[in-house]
A and B are shown apart, each in its own frame.
Chain A
Amino acid sequence: MLLVQLLINGIQVGVLYALIAVGFSLIFGSTRIFHFAHGATFTLAAYAFYYVYAIAQWHWTLAVVAAAAAAVLFGVALNRFVYVPIQKHEGSFFTVFVASFGVGIVVQNLCGMIFGRSFVSVDTPLSRSVEVMSGVFVSPISGIAIVIAVLFFIGLQRFLMGTHTGMALRALSENPELVRVYGMSPRRLSMTVFALGSFLVVPAALLSAASSGLYPAIGHHVILISLAATIVGGVGSLRGAACAGLLLGLAENLALLYFEPQWSEAISFIVLFLFILFRPSGFFGRATAT
Chain B
Amino acid sequence: MLAYLLNLATLICINAVLAITLNFIMGYAGIFSIAHAIFFGVGAYTAAYFALHASASVFLAIPVAMLIAALISLVLALPALRVRGEYFVAASLGLQVLGVTVFSEWKSITGGLGGVIGIPPADVFGYDVVDPVAFLALAATCLVIVLIATTALLRSSFGRNLKAIRDSESAAHAFGKNVAVIKTLSVMLSSALAAVAGALYAFYMGFINVESFTLETSVLLMAMVIIGGTGTVAGPIVGTLLLMLLPGLFSYMSFLPQTEIGSIQQIAYGLAMVLLMIYRPGGIVGSGTRAAGKGKTA
| A and B, direct touch (CB closer than 8 Å) | yes
Residues of B55-107 whose CB lies within 8 A of A = 79-80, 82-87, 89-91, 93-95, 97-98, 101-102, 104-105
Q: Does B267 interact with chain A (Cβ within 8 Å)?
A: yes
**Does B84 lie within 8 Å of A288, measured CB to CB?**
yes
Which residue from A92, A103, A228, A277 sits with its C-beta under 8 Å from B90?
A228
**Does B79 lie within 8 Å of A102, measured CB to CB?**
no
Q: How many residues of B contact A (CB 8 A)?
A: 54
Q: How large is the interface on A (under 10, 10 to 19, 20 to 34, 35 or more residues)?
A: 35 or more
Stretch from B115-123, B243-251, B289-297 at the A interface:
B289-297
**Does A106 lie within 8 Å of B90, measured CB to CB?**
no
- Name B's interface SS: helix
Chain B residues with Cβ below 8 Å from A92 are: 290, 292-296
**Does B270 lie within 8 Å of A289, measured CB to CB?**
no
**Does B277 lie within 8 Å of A280, measured CB to CB?**
no
Q: Please report the C-alpha to C-alpha distance between residue A104 and residue B273 in the assembled complex, in whole angstroms.
A: 11
**Does A289 lie within 8 Å of B84, measured CB to CB?**
yes
Chain B residues with Cβ below 8 Å from A109 are: 263-264, 266-267, 270
0/1 interface trace, chain A 261-290, chain B, CB 8 Å (1 if under): 011011011101100110010000000111
A113-B263, A289-B84, A290-B82 known; A106+B270 contact, CB < 8 A: yes
Give the tally of cross-chain contacts (CB within 8 A): 149
**Does A265 lie within 8 Å of B273, measured CB to CB?**
no
Q: Please report the C-alpha to C-alpha distance between residue A263 and residue B26 in the assembled complex, in whole angstroms.
A: 29
Which residue from B87, B230, B260, B277 sits with its C-beta under 8 Å from A99?
B277
**Does A90 lie within 8 Å of B79, measured CB to CB?**
no
Which residue from B101, B173, B270 sits with its C-beta under 8 Å from A103?
B270
Chain B's closest residue to A96 (CB) is B277
**Does B87 lie within 8 Å of A276, measured CB to CB?**
yes
Which residue from B86, B94, B215, B273 sits with its C-beta under 8 Å from A269?
B94
Residues of A106-137 whose CB lies within 8 A of B = 106, 108-110, 112-113
Whole-angstrom distance between the Cβ of B290 and the nearest chain A Cβ: 6
Q: A224-B90, A280-B87 are in contact. List 6 more A-B contacts (CB 8 A).
A: A92-B290, A109-B266, A224-B93, A224-B97, A235-B86, A268-B94
